[in-house]
Amino acid sequence: MTRPPRPDFRRGPFPWLTDERQAGPHFWPVVSPWGLGSLGLLLLGAAALFVVSGMTSGDQERLMAGIFIAILPGGAGAVALVMAIIRWRWFRGARRSRPTPPR
């Protein structure tokens, strides 16, 4: 009986997140999925803050502006959370298959 082939964990999903060559004054690599997940939660919190501030104003135009402004950070936060979940599954498997933590 032969073993099934081990998965290849050299490059993870979204490899451009951890690329050191792109690091500069306006870019930092996201090494762990925890950082990406916390960024997603922060963006979702900012979107909720925009909606709540629009709801408490009592004005229909401010409510619509708050919802419209909340779409961008809310969407980016949701995408970041999905990417963190996908990356966490890869990160956990890569950590089990080799002695050094993945980048």
Per-residue confidence (pLDDT) for residue 25, from 0 to 100: 65
pLDDT band at residue 9 under the 50/70/90 scheme: low
Per-residue confidence (pLDDT) for residue 46, from 0 to 100: 92
Per-residue confidence (pLDDT) for residue 17, from 0 to 100: 65
pLDDT tens for 28-71 read 666 678 888 888 999 999 999 988 888 887 788 888 888 888 99
Per-residue confidence (pLDDT) for residue 10, from 0 to 100: 61
Whether the per-residue pLDDT at 7 is higher than 60: the answer is no
6-15's contacts with Cβ under 8 Å and 24+ in sequence apart are 6/97, 7/93, 7/97, 9/90, 9/93, 9/94, 9/97, 9/98, 9/102, 12/87, 12/90, 12/91, 12/94, 12/102, 13/83, 13/86, 13/87, 13/90, 14/83, 14/86, 14/87
**Residue with the larger pLDDT of the pair 52 and 14:** 52
Record the pTM.
0.70
